[in-house]
């Protein structure tokens, strides 16, 4: 029987909702147990959140001052040690999981399955390659723990449970390196919904034309309560910060509604939105490839159409 | 300081890859191959560090079949001092690539290894981190800015929350993100000059690395297609359609 360890992702003392998506993937393995490990300098509040997620058997906390920031070089040896006795180690395929998990796999001498989309069996998974142009079925060897990152857009967040799972303190005797030091994290401050978990996302592309013009996107997004994203071209041109990039090398998201405004629909961008419920495209070029995947398309000038839309919504 | 750069050849990013009808792989016959875009960025960063006097030598590494030579020549034409070609006829997965790179690190003692954050064929995003683990050295992944001074690298990383800056002791492994730099174009005279630059050829089997622990790829499938949608004629129709779906 499988026993799965899920690595909790958190920031500023709060559990990241991507963790609950990784727990859904763990549940799909139909394991004997799903434990969540919280590595932090102050794990208690985070652990209490994790304990309430449906399907969690228990939460273990590793409290060390060195765990204040999520440094892969510091966390990986602890995770590799904590993984003893588990058949699987999962984390969300966010920049956190992508950074730390291959390091864990390296320490365990195990191959890693990146971006798990579906679970076909305890060691058989599907994952995307070539920017999602092909989906491969992979079988992980059974003589090592399965180290995997979970493509969050493919999985719903596990629900909340009526009773909280027990929380245990784990002390790990691991020597930690001092060769890697945290300097700072510059976070984009925003009162808007979080891009990765929002139900609605409005994204702007190169067609928006400038940083100043992007206000029209923000304004429309606020009108409908949406998060704001962007194409790589918009990020490269400096209209918006990097954390807003959607696509193969940015964020992979699955909102109920995705609106692409002035975005042509390059394959690398589409990779990021394949799992969106409804895709709406607004583009002045009726031949733009975005219309091949859009559920609803509207040809026209975004600067004319967005105010009209706002007015029509009322 | 010497810099080792991962220089992988992949299907060009403009190619729309097709899955073979029998599910045994993707069509690669006659398809344009190019350097992994992230590896061009890795090489560019290494060259800039050499031009700044931070590094003396830039060595590119390719792991792959015999016909990789032309690809490595491109990297040499871009400006690398020399290349190491680890030959194999098998598909190499990240753990094996990392084990191979570790062997080369032991031989070459670089002060820095720069690889792409992901190769755009398998999109694994693993090799650099695995190498750092096996080598027991720092990693700074998804780099958007790199500064080297006093035996340390200060790296700004593109993370989900924004930009994170780390200080790491050298030697270290850095993986590149898209906005680290814009790679230079190769000029014709450089291609001529590159012909005389050395390429060391090493057979993978002779390195004594464990090539086991592989994932087995059992099937390739085309992604599910989204069905073609509808076109609306104006803002009012779009709002009505979204309200009808309960999205507004
Ligand atoms: C046409 C084609 C067919 C393939 N078919 C198969 C197949 O059938 N089965 C299979 O398992 N794999 C196959 N592969 C790919 C496989 O060999 C990948 O190299 C391997 O899975 C590593 O994944 P990755 O490159 O995505 O690693 P990542 O971790 O994403 O790579 C990150 C970085 O590591 C460095 N790096 C990684 N590999 C190399 C390398 N070989 N040489 C130099 N630097 C490197 C690069 O700097 C790269 O940017 C195929 C590749 C191609 C191009
Ligand atoms: C390795 C690699 C990774 C990449 N990763 C990503 C990624 O993660 N995410 C990503 O997005 N891209 C990525 N790209 C880039 C991608 O290939 C495209 O270049 C990019 O998505 C284009 O952005 P865009 O659609 O905003 O710009 P463009 O392609 O320039 O399209 C702009 C669109 O705006 C329309 N337009 C202009 N003015 C107006 C107006 N007034 N009203 C309405 N419409 C208007 C135009 O008709 C056009 O269709 C990657 C590329 C590579 C090589």
Cα–Cα dist B17/B37, whole Å? 16
- A109: phi > 0 → left, psi -120 to 50 → alpha, else beta; which? left
Chain B interface includes A99 (CB < 8 A): yes
Ranges of residues in chain A with a pLDDT under 70 are: none
ipTM above 0.90, yes or no: yes
pTM: 0.90
Rounded CA Rg of chain B: 21
Chain A interface includes B232 (CB < 8 A): yes
- Ligand 2 close to Cβ of residue A206 (< 6 A): yes
Cα–Cα dist A69/A187, whole Å? 14
- Ligand 2 close to Cβ of residue A234 (< 6 A): yes
- The burial of A240, by beta-carbon neighbours within 10 Å (0-12 exposed, 13-18 middle, 19 or more buried), is given as buried
Cα–Cα dist A197/A176, whole Å? 33
SS3 per residue for chain B: CEEEEECCEEECCCCCCCECCCCCCECCCCCCEEECHHHHHHHHHHHHHHHCCCCCEEEEEEEECHHHHHHHHHHHHHCCCEEEEEECCCCCCHHHHHHHHHHHHHHHCCCEEEEECCCCCCCCCCHHHHHHHHHCCCEEEEEEEEEEECCEEEEEEEECCEEEEEEEECCEEEEECHHHCCCCCCCHHHHHHHCCCCEEEEEHHHHCCCCCCCCEEEEEECCCCCCCCEEECCHHHHHHHHHHCCCC
> Relative to the CA of B28, which ligand 1 atom is closest?
1
Q: Do B241 and A111 touch (CB under 8 A)?
A: no
- Which chain A positions have a beta carbon within 8 Å of B19's beta carbon? 133-134
* Cβ-nearest to B213 among A110, A249, A257: A110
Contact B42, B78 (CB under 8 A): no
Q: How far is CA B60 from the centre of its chain?
A: 12
Q: Answer whether CATH 3.30.300.30 is correct for domain A200-313.
A: no
Cα–Cα dist B125/B118, whole Å? 4
Q: pLDDT value at position B182? A: 97
Question: Which ligand is nearest to the Cα of residue B30, counting in written order?
Answer: 1
Q: pLDDT value at position B212? A: 85
Q: pLDDT value at position B144? A: 97
| Cα(B127) to centroid(ligand 1), Å | 9
Contact A73, A102 (CB under 8 A): no
DSSP A193: P
Q: pLDDT value at position A190? A: 81
Residue B154: CATH number of its domain:
3.40.50.620
Ranges of residues in chain B with a pLDDT under 50 are: none
Q: Do B117 and A249 touch (CB under 8 A)?
A: yes
Strands A200-204 and A227-230: parallel
Q: pLDDT value at position B194? A: 94
- B151: phi > 0 → left, psi -120 to 50 → alpha, else beta; which? left
- Ligand 1 close to Cβ of residue B37 (< 6 A): no
- Ligand 1 close to Cβ of residue B40 (< 6 A): no
3-state secondary structure of A228: strand
Chain B interface includes A21 (CB < 8 A): no
Q: pLDDT value at position A140? A: 97
| Cα(B120) to centroid(ligand 1), Å | 9
Domain ranges of chain A: 3-169, 200-313
3-state secondary structure of A49: helix
Q: What is the mean pLDDT of chain B?
A: 96
Q: Do A106 and B129 touch (CB under 8 A)?
A: yes
Q: Which helix (H) or strand (E) holds A72?
A: helix A72-82
Q: How many other CB atoms are found less than 10 A from the CB of residue A41?
A: 12
Distance between start and end Cα atoms, chain A: 56
Chain B interface includes A138 (CB < 8 A): yes
Residue whose CA is closest, atom 48 of ligand 2?
A264
3-state secondary structure of A169: strand
Rounded CA Rg of chain A: 21
Instruction: Decide whether A3-169 matches A200-313 in CATH topology.
Output: yes
Q: Which of B139, B151, B183, B234 would best serve as a mutation to test chain A binding (most A beta carbons within 10 A)? A: B139
Residue whose CA is closest, atom 50 of ligand 2?
A268
Cα–Cα dist A98/A72, whole Å? 10
Token pair of B56 as six digits: 């003396």
CATH number at A3-169: 3.40.50.620
Cα–Cα dist A188/A244, whole Å? 9
Q: Do B229 and A295 touch (CB under 8 A)?
A: yes
Half-sphere exposure at residue A149, Cβ-oriented, CA atoms within 13 angstroms: 25
Chain B interface includes A189 (CB < 8 A): no
How many A/B residue pairs have CB atoms within 8 Å? Answer: 262
Say how many domains are in chain B: 1
- A56: phi > 0 → left, psi -120 to 50 → alpha, else beta; which? beta
3-state secondary structure of A5: strand
Q: Which domain holds residue B40?
A: 2-244
| Shortest Cα–Cα distance, A55 to chain B (Å) | 26
DSSP A246: B
Chain A interface includes B91 (CB < 8 A): no
């Amino acid at each position: 029987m499988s026993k799965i360890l899920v690595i909790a992702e958190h920031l500023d003392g709060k559990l990241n909702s991507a963790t609950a998506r990784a727990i859904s993937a763990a549940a799909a393995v139909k394991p004997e147990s799903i434990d969540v490990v919280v590595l932090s300098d102050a794990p208690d509040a985070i652990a209490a959140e994790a304990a309430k997620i449906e399907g969690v058997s228990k939460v273990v906390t590793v409290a060390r001052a060195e765990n204040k920031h999520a440094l892969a070089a510091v966390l990986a040896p602890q995770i590799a040690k904590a993984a003893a006795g588990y058949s699987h180690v999962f984390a969300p395929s966010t920049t956190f999981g992508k950074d730390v998990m291959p390091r864990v796999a390296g320490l365990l001498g195990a191959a890693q399955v990146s971006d798990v989309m579906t679970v076909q069996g305890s060691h058989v998974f599907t994952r995307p390659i070539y920017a999602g142009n092909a989906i491969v079925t992979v079988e992980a060897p059974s003589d090592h723990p399965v180290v995997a990152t979970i493509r969050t857009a493919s999985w719903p967040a596990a629900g909340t449970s009526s009773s909280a799972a027990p929380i245990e303190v784990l002390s790990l005797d691991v020597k930690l390196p001092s060769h890697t030091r945290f300097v700072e994290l510059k976070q984009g401050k925003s009162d808007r919904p979080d891009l990765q978990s929002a139900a609605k996302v409005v994204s702007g592309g190169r067609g928006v034309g400038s940083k100043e013009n992007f206000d029209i996107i923000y304004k429309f997004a606020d009108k409908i309560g949406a998060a704001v994203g962007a194409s790589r071209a918009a990020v490269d041109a400096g209209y918006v910060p990097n954390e807003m990039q959607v696509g193969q090398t940015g964020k992979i998201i699955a909102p109920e509604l995705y609106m692409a405004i002035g975005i042509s629909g390059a394959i690398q961008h589409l990779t990021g939105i394949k799992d969106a419920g409804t895709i709406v495209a607004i583009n002045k070029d009726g031949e733009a490839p975005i219309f091949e995947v859009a559920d609803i398309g509207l040809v026209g000038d975004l600067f004319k159409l967005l105010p009209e839309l706002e007015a029509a919504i009322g | 300081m010497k810099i080792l750069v991962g220089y992988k050849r992949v299907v060009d990013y403009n190619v729309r890859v097709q899955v073979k009808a029998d599910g045994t792989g993707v069509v690669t016959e006659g398809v344009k191959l190019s350097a992994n875009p992230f590896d061009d960025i890795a090489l560019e960063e290494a060259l800039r560090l050499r031009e700044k006097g931070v590094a003396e030598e830039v060595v590119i590494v390719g792991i792959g079949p015999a016909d990789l030579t032309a690809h490595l020549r491109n990297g040499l034409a871009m400006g690398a001092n020399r290349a190491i070609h680890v030959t194999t006829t098998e598909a190499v997965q990240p753990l094996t690539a990392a084990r191979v790179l570790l062997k080369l690190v032991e031989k070459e003692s670089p002060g820095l290894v720069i690889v792409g954050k992901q190769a755009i064929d398998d999109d694994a995003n693993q090799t650099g981190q695995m190498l750092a683990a096996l080598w027991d050295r720092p990693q700074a992944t998804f780099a958007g800015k790199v500064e080297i001074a006093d035996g340390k690298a200060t790296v700004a990383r593109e993370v989900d929350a924004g930009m994170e800056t780390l200080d790491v002791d050298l030697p270290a492994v850095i993986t590149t993100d898209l906005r680290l730099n814009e790679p230079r174009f190769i000029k014709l005279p450089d291609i001529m000059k590159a012909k005389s630059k050395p390429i060391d050829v090493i057979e993978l089997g002779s390195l004594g690395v464990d090539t086991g622990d592989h994932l087995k790829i059992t099937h390739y499938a085309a992604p599910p297609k989204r069905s073609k949608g509808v076109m609306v004629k104006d803002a009012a129709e779009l709002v009505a359609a979204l309200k009808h779906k309960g999205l507004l």
